[in-house]
Amino acid sequence: MRKGLALVLLLTLLVGGCSFGKDDKPPAPPAPDLTSAPAGVAVNKGPFESGPVKAPARGALFGAWIKPDALTHVGRLAAVDSLQSDLGRPLRIVNTYRRFEQMVGTPSDKEFLARGATLMVSWATGDNRSILDGEHDDLIRKQAQAVRKIKVPVLLRMRWEMDRPNLRATMWSGPDYIAAWKYVRAIFKEEGADNVSWVWCPTAEGFMRGDAPGFYPGDDQVDWTCVDVYAGERFEPIGDLMGPFLTWAAQHPKPIVIGEFGVAKAWGSAGRAAWLKDARRTFKANPQIKAIAYFESDPEGNGPNKQFQLTGDPAAFREFHQMAKDPYFTK
């Protein structure tokens, strides 16, 4: 682990612990040491095979998921518009979540696409073995047709975070997931949905454990590799958290999208700002990272270690705003 920020974060953990009561706050760490190289670098500089959604030649596309007050057309637009107004720029990638039975091509999807954003659809497909048994063929075909009809390239994260232990009951195993991935992709091909860039997106923790690579469908099946990475339960530099993934990804000729990233409120405003500052330079040090999407949300029922919204936290949002305005991310 790098000296500077890594040492500060370790001391923060030792003093404050990994969970906090209502009145407890971790001590704010000082700014990271920016004189040393960031932790975690994917050395693959391309060229990359990215499918219909082309990776920028330089820099990275900037985006986010913003939890709306209501999951409606108006609510989704208002959430994105509010963040864009605060940042003073449009998002190039809008992440959106869909249950298995929810179709792409909603009015808000079409509005975001009309504005020039790239849609990243995080699609929660179901039980892999029931998919392989053909129980959902009609649903999958309907989704493929819906994607085809929007006629512009989209990023599709088929059952992102498939390596999470709490999903094992429906994922079953890596081979089951891989077989289901190929099965679904074949149906999309039959339906002429050739405007999809297929995004494989496990968790950073899955690479730390070592089981995530077992879910990889193969370079011939994947257009973008991806990782979801959070400073939630563990407050460490983002390069350390996703280091094992970056080492793995460097061996594959695919651009990387950071599908979700976030730093929890539990770590204090100054700590969050320092983490984001280090994240920005880590992204820039990795030429294989071609897109990033912040998880701007406080999921209901989660404690402070899993609350990631930056709006309302002046110091942290200021650093996020600096990232958004960095020319490297304005593509």
In the chain, the domains with their CATH numbers are 46-329 (3.20.20.80)
Q: Is the pLDDT of residue 18 over 70?
A: no
Structure tokens at 325: 């305005």
Region 242-268: mean pLDDT is 96
* Predicted local distance difference test score (pLDDT) of residue 13: 34
Instruction: Write down the residue that tokens 């892999």 correspond to.
Output: 128
Structure tokens at 89: 């720029």
* Predicted local distance difference test score (pLDDT) of residue 299: 87
Quote the DSSP letter at residue 232. Answer: S
Residues with a catalytic annotation lie at 161, 260
Which of 312-323 are b and which e, b meaning 16 or more Cβ less than 10 Å from the residue's Cβ? ebebbbebbbeb
The distance from CA 191 to its chain's CA centroid, rounded to whole angstroms, is: 27
d(CA 137, CA 130) in angstroms, rounded, equals 10
**In this prediction, what percent of the chain has a pLDDT beyond 90?**
81
> Cβ distance 109 to 143 under 8 Å?
no
Region 295-305: mean pLDDT is 89
* Predicted local distance difference test score (pLDDT) of residue 45: 78
Q: What is the pTM of this model?
A: 0.89
Region 230-239: mean pLDDT is 93
Which of 201-217 are b and which e, b meaning 16 or more Cβ less than 10 Å from the residue's Cβ? bbbbbbbbeebbeebbb
